[in-house]
Every structure is written in structure tokens, then in C-alpha cells.
Amino acid sequence: MRIAHYALPSRALLAPMAGVTDRPFRQLCRRFGAGLAPAEMLIADQRLWGSDKSRRRMDHEGEPEPRVVQLVGSDPAELAGAARVNVDLGAQIIDINMGCPAKKVCQREAGSALLADEALVERILTAVVRAVSVPVTLKIRTGTTHSNRNAPRIAGIAAGCGIAALSIHGRTRADFFRGAAEYDTIRQTRDALDIPLIANGDIDSPQKARAVLDFTGAEGVMLGRAAQGAPWIFRDVNALLGNQFAAPLLRTFKTGIILQHLESLYEFYGEHTGVRMARKHLGWYCRQLSEAIALRPMLMAAEDSASQFAAAKHCFERWAELEAA
């Protein structure tokens, strides 16, 4: 799969998720074969970039190429300016977020709210594409409501503006994350599009990834929630898409990955925030790893990195020992 001049190493990509796809998690998913790992969405208003959160979202040190920055906003000039700054800071692909359904984003007429104004979509995409020399991609939903699934029209606008690739989540803005994703609209969009298309929504297994690719004709799939607590899913998806079988990972190996992830979070965020961010990921690891769910309260109670890491090491190593017993 290619995006402009970039040949991606796989067809399975990590979806950008606010509060989740920070630099440590992106690096981990790329290690397991994610073909691309966009950063968390960054608001285009540069006046808000002084916070620690924004600075971390703009930190791409040590990431494999191509590095993707996702911008969210509704003002064409503001988005174009933010794109230029991020390219100067090392972004190699700019992704425009027109898919987020969160109220705080849509209330600013940004994210998936933009799908209701196709003229504004065109102005934004034109401005950003003209502002930078790197590829610009777009992430959208199938439409605003079930009666207005306008993704095929948005796709046509995007292609005409010079967008290099399009990702579509198989829900409308009104759906938020409720119900099941539908792929008929993505398939219809594929029929009218001549740029790479990436399907997203409820892709939670290698088999589902293969089925969605076959049905939609998309070049790639984007995994989000399925990677939470299971970054190794990209390895399994890539194997199946290559008509191979990936042997199950041993629990001892997964335990090592979890502990390495914790260490990277502490290093990236520092003591206080690192412990808080690690709780989130530990909750997902417990959910994914069957017997470890009973260990969750102990892990959540830790107040500092040393005790949290020690508890995780004890709990997950014991969990790994059960497999060998």
C-alpha cells in the first residue's frame, strides 16, 4: 500500500485516538507491524499549543517514518498554518480530522460536524494541500446521519483537492460509537474513488480485517479499540493478510511487552502523569488477558511508578506462569 511516495510496510494501520495513541503506544504498534501510526489529534489553534498535552502530541522523537500529524479545526487558514508549522517540525504526512464525533469537537464545528458543510470541507482541504509540500490525508465518517451518508461526495471533493488517501469510519456522526459499523457506504465510496481508501470501524480480528478488505475493496484497514491492550494484533492481521498463520504469542513474551510499555510511559510522561496514563493501559491489558482481570484492583491502586511497576511485574509474571504450569 502506498500513500503518495511512501510505501507502507503493511495494510493494517493504527487509528489516531485522543488519549491513547501517544508516542510510546505508536512506537509499540509500529514495532508489531502497524503500517502507519498517526499521532493524537492536535487542535489547529496555535494559541493552545503551550500546554504539556499539546507539546507531547507534537513530540515524534525516535518514531519510524512516515510521521503523521492529525489536525482538527474548522478554519481553513488556521489549519493551513498549523500544517506548515508541523511540517517544519518534522511531520511527513498531515491528516485532517473530519471524523471525531465528540461533542466538545463538534460544538466548534470541527471533526465530523464538518461533513454537514461540503463547501467548507473543500475550502479546508484546498488550503491545507496548497500550504504544504507533504501528502495530506483525510479521515471521515460515512456521513452526519443515516439519511445523509455523504461520504461518496466528500470523497470526490477530497480527491479533487489533491488529498492523497482517505480513511472512513463506518458510522455516522449521529451514531457516535453505538451500534455496528457498516461497510456498504465504504464500498460505494471505493467505486467512485481513485486514491487509496482505508476502512475503519469494528475491525477487531485478522478475520474481520480480511473480510472488510474483501468486501469494500479498500487498500487498507485501520484498527483502533482492538489495539488497546493488544498492540500485537497488527502482527496477527498482517500474517493473515499475507496468507500465513501467526503462532500465538506466549504469555511470557506479552508480559515483557507490557512491562516495557510501562517503562516507556514513565519516561515519556514523568512520574505523576506516567502512573495515571499507565493505569489506563493496564486496565486494557487486564481486559484482554483473561485471568489477569482479577488483578486489576491491585494495579489501579498503585500511587507511584515503583509500586505500580512492581505490582504489574508480580501480577503478569504470575499470569504467565499459569500458562506454563
Residue from 100, 161, 286, 315 carrying the catalytic annotation: 100
Q: 286 near 316, Cβ under 8 Å?
A: no
First to last CA, the chain: 43
Cα(231)–Cα(26) distance, integer angstroms: 9
Band (pLDDT 50/70/90 cuts) for residue 93 is very high
Q: What is the pLDDT of residues 125-184, one digit of tens each?
A: 999 999 999 999 999 999 999 999 999 999 999 999 999 999 999 999 999 999 999 999
Backbone phi, psi, residue 94, to 5°: -105, 125
C-alpha cell at 98: 473530519
DSSP, res 148: B
How long a stretch of residues is the chain? 325
Position 127 scores a pLDDT of 98
Band (pLDDT 50/70/90 cuts) for residue 109 is confident
CA 214 from centroid of its chain's CA atoms: 22
- Whether the per-residue pLDDT at 315 is higher than 90: the answer is no
Q: 196 near 158, Cβ under 8 Å?
A: no
Provide the whole-model pTM.
0.94
Cα(24)–Cα(263) distance, integer angstroms: 9
- Whether the per-residue pLDDT at 107 is higher than 80: the answer is no
- Whether the per-residue pLDDT at 102 is higher than 90: the answer is no
- Whether the per-residue pLDDT at 292 is higher than 60: the answer is no
Angle at 185 between CA 161 and CA 120, to 5 degrees: 35
Least confident segment among 145-149, 184-188, 228-232, 290-294 = 290-294
> Which whole number is the average pLDDT over 260-270?
97
C-alpha cell at 229: 491492550
CATH architecture of 2-241: Alpha-Beta Barrel (3.20)
β-bridge pairing 93-98 and 165-169: unpaired
Based on the residue annotation, tell me whether 100 is a catalytic residue of this protein.
yes
- Whether the per-residue pLDDT at 110 is higher than 90: the answer is no
Domain boundaries in the chain?
Answer: 2-241, 251-324
